[in-house]
Structure 1
Amino acid sequence: MSAGLDGRFALVTGAGRGIGAAVAAALVEEGARVLATDLDPAGVRSLAARYPGRVTARALDVTDAAAVDTLVDAAEQESGPLDIVVNVAGILRSSEVVDLTEEDWAATFAVNTNGVFHVSRAAARRMTERGAGSIVTVASNAAGVPRAGMAAYAASKAAAVMFTRCLGLEVAARGVRCNTVSPGSTLTDMQRALWNGDAEAAARRVVEGDLATHRTGIPLGRIAEPADVADAVVFLVSDRARHITMHDLYVDGGATLRA
């Protein structure tokens, strides 16, 4: 069934690769026009070349509030009102807390939390005036379940989830829906960077679980593809989810046991 996004205009952050690129592509396939942004513009330029006339590529540092406002203003002047915003931009700097530097902590929150705030605020200001819009933040199942060596990442994603829910409460009466999608282990560069040595063995440990790090494994028996997460996003921004807001949709194959 089509998601019915024909003619809608979407902004996707972190669209240069991985989940962000998959989200942008999925939105285009459903008929949307997409403003694809990333700190490194190479990936979004490739996406724009793949979908000429459907994807516009722009460099964006989501930690820069002024740059976010400028881009959103320009986008709406050039291409019309934003109907959809998807926050995907994120970073992961793994470390046990006792070794975690202030710089890594601050950088993680600057992108994963402040970036979500900057982009969502800019979009919500305009969407509420029009009485319509959908904002989705891609978070992580680590926001709800402790992960060793990922305190900064997990805490920043938990903050992004609660921020998005609070925003959703504030703007619901003005026709704007705000939801989060929380993936588990997904085959992206970020995931592969966590693997040491044999990638096949590392992937098997993710699926089977690891008692040493208190991970339960993935009951469905596979690591997610970025498209699995993108499909969840497309559903939430579509009219099929018109009565869903402030929801956190886990896409993790049951890995957290929804604990």
Structure 2
Amino acid sequence: MSVSLDGKIAVITGAASGIGLATTEKLLAAGATVVMVDRNEKALDELVARLGPRAVAQVTDLLDFDSCNAMVPEILQKVDHIDILYCNAGTYIGGDLVDTDPATIDRMLNLNVNAVMKNVHAVVPHMSERKTGDIIVTCSIAGHFPAYWEPIYTSSKWAITCFVQTMRRQMIPHGVRVGQVSPGPVVSALLADWPEENLRKAKEAGALIDPEEVADAVEYMLTRKRTVTIRDMIVLPTAFDRV
């Protein structure tokens, strides 16, 4: 059974591009107001002008301690409440461990893991008080098996899988649903460091999906009746044969 998102207020991180933008457009079309969180102020300004009055810009740098901590309080000065938090922002490191550096590792773990935990920590009291809410996190198929070609990224997504599924259990008594969407490779900026030949072959083989496919999955999760939780939705390109 599908329920309406009309009038709901959603917050989406990493909303200026990729999965975040596709999900913003999907939820706006369903009647929701969407607070678009991103560090790219120029892109946000252009997007909210195009998307209309139910798209609200929130400039936040999730890698900046103070900016990240201020995100939820600043949003609650712009909207009455938060029905949905979709923690989507993230980054990617592929390849062998020895081919990266400590600063890059720190940045990825801070964005993929720490920022998610801090955003959820900030919104939980608000949702618990209201006895309702939805929290969804973009995980990855890499959070379900040891992807040896991307050990740092995979480790971050295993951490997020654990965090989401423990928080799901914690929040049941408070009326807040918590779940994750786990895509396979998506056509997005996260694949910018893929070798061009690998990217070309993956596209030609149909081993990549578009961000809109993930947005569809998120909408499906959010539109289930309150007695149903989609704890994890794995969305794969049909030709993806690595798992």
TM-score (norm 2): 0.90
Matched, 1:134 2:134: yes
Q: Aligned pair in 2 of structure 1 residues 132, 225: CA closer, same or farther (>3 Å)?
A: same
Q: For 1:104-152, what per-residue CA distance to the aligned partner results, in whole angstroms no more than 9, with x for missing partners?
A: 2211110000011011111112101110000000111011123243111
Structure 1 segments of 4 or more deviating over 4 A? 254-259
Q: How many residues align?
A: 243
Match for residue 121 of structure 2? 121
How far residue 100 of structure 1 moved from its aligned partner, in angstroms, is 3.2
Matched, 1:161 2:156: no
Matched, 1:68 2:53: no
- Take 1:256 and 1:127, find their aligned partners in 2: how far apart are those partners? 37
Name the amino acid aligned to 1:229: V
Contact 1:3–1:235, Cα closer than 8 Å, also in 2: no
TM-score (norm 1): 0.85
Residue identity over aligned pairs, in percent, reads: 30
Match for residue 230 of structure 1? 215
Contact 2:221–2:230, Cα closer than 8 Å, also in 1: no
Unaligned stretches of 5+ residues in structure 2: none
2:203 alignment partner, SS class: helix
- Take 1:246 and 1:163, find their aligned partners in 2: how far apart are those partners? 16
Name the amino acid aligned to 2:231: H
- State which drifts further: 187-196 or 106-115: 187-196
Match for residue 79 of structure 1? 79
- Take 1:112 and 1:22, find their aligned partners in 2: how far apart are those partners? 19
Q: Aligned pair in 2 of structure 1 residues 76, 94: CA closer, same or farther (>3 Å)?
A: same
How far residue 192 of structure 1 moved from its aligned partner, in angstroms, is 4.6
How far residue 187 of structure 1 moved from its aligned partner, in angstroms, is 1.3
Q: For 1:79-116, what per-residue CA distance to the aligned partner results, in whole angstroms no more than 9, with x for missing partners?
A: 11100000110011223023332222211110000011
- Take 2:239 and 2:119, find their aligned partners in 1: how far apart are those partners? 29
Q: Aligned pair in 2 of structure 1 residues 117, 233: CA closer, same or farther (>3 Å)?
A: same
Q: For 1:216-245, what per-residue CA distance to the aligned partner results, in whole angstroms no more than 9, with x for missing partners?
A: xxxxx552110100011112122x252344
Q: CA RMSD in A?
A: 2.3
How far residue 72 of structure 1 moved from its aligned partner, in angstroms, is 1.2
Q: Aligned pair in 2 of structure 1 residues 192, 65: CA closer, same or farther (>3 Å)?
A: closer
- Take 2:41 and 2:147, find their aligned partners in 1: how far apart are those partners? 31
- Take 1:103 and 1:246, find their aligned partners in 2: how far apart are those partners? 35
Name the amino acid aligned to 1:225: D
